[in-house]
Amino acid sequence: MRKPTLIIGKKHIILACLTLILGIAVYMNYAFSSAEKSIAEDTAAAADSKTVNYGDAAYVNTGSADEIDYFSQARLSRMTSRDEAVETLSAMLNGGDISSEEDAAYTAEAVNLTQLSESEAKIESLVKAQGFEDCVVYLDGETANIVVRTDGLTPEDAAKIKDILLSEVTISSENIRIFEVK
């Protein structure tokens, strides 16, 4: 009778590594969630005792949930629609029966969408760096819509935002709209 041999292949090593990574991720999730709970409890206890310990971490709500969610929902919505457009272009490119002109047009459109996404992210970061609390930018190549969280948009602030936008993209001034969210 032949004794079975233990052969460890690449698939077994990869499976073991993935299992280890999953275990680490679960542990880190547990550790961070329990740490957040203890910080929240400590913050609540400190607020109740009316003592201030400078340097302690505290969560601060700067606005209503609707205001905070608007910007995150807007970014998510924009990202989802762009992903769908890229997926559609990819399906058309991989469809098989397209001419070289169509292939070039679809590829150019995909590159354009990528550039618009990068420009939006860069403009949002620069606007926030100017001291605005939050910002969402929508570009389509011909128009720009910018939504900014501020307590009062002055003409100087609007000019700063417009300068940031025009340093990144070429859009005519009449096609730039800036909206204020308080």
> Angle 149-58-67 (CA atoms, 0-180°, nearest 5)?
25
pLDDT of residue 2: 65
For the chain, which ranges sit under pLDDT 70? Answer: 1-6, 34-68, 96
- What pLDDT, on the 0 to 100 scale, is given for residue 54? 43
State residue 181's pLDDT score: 85
Separation CA 70–CA 76 (nearest Å): 10
Task: In whole angstroms, give the CA distance from residue 155 to residue 130.
Answer: 14
pLDDT value of position 55: 38
Q: What is the pLDDT of residues 29-81, one digit of tens each?
A: 777 776 666 665 655 555 555 544 443 444 344 455 555 577 888 888 888 88
Predicted local distance difference test score (pLDDT) of residue 56: 40
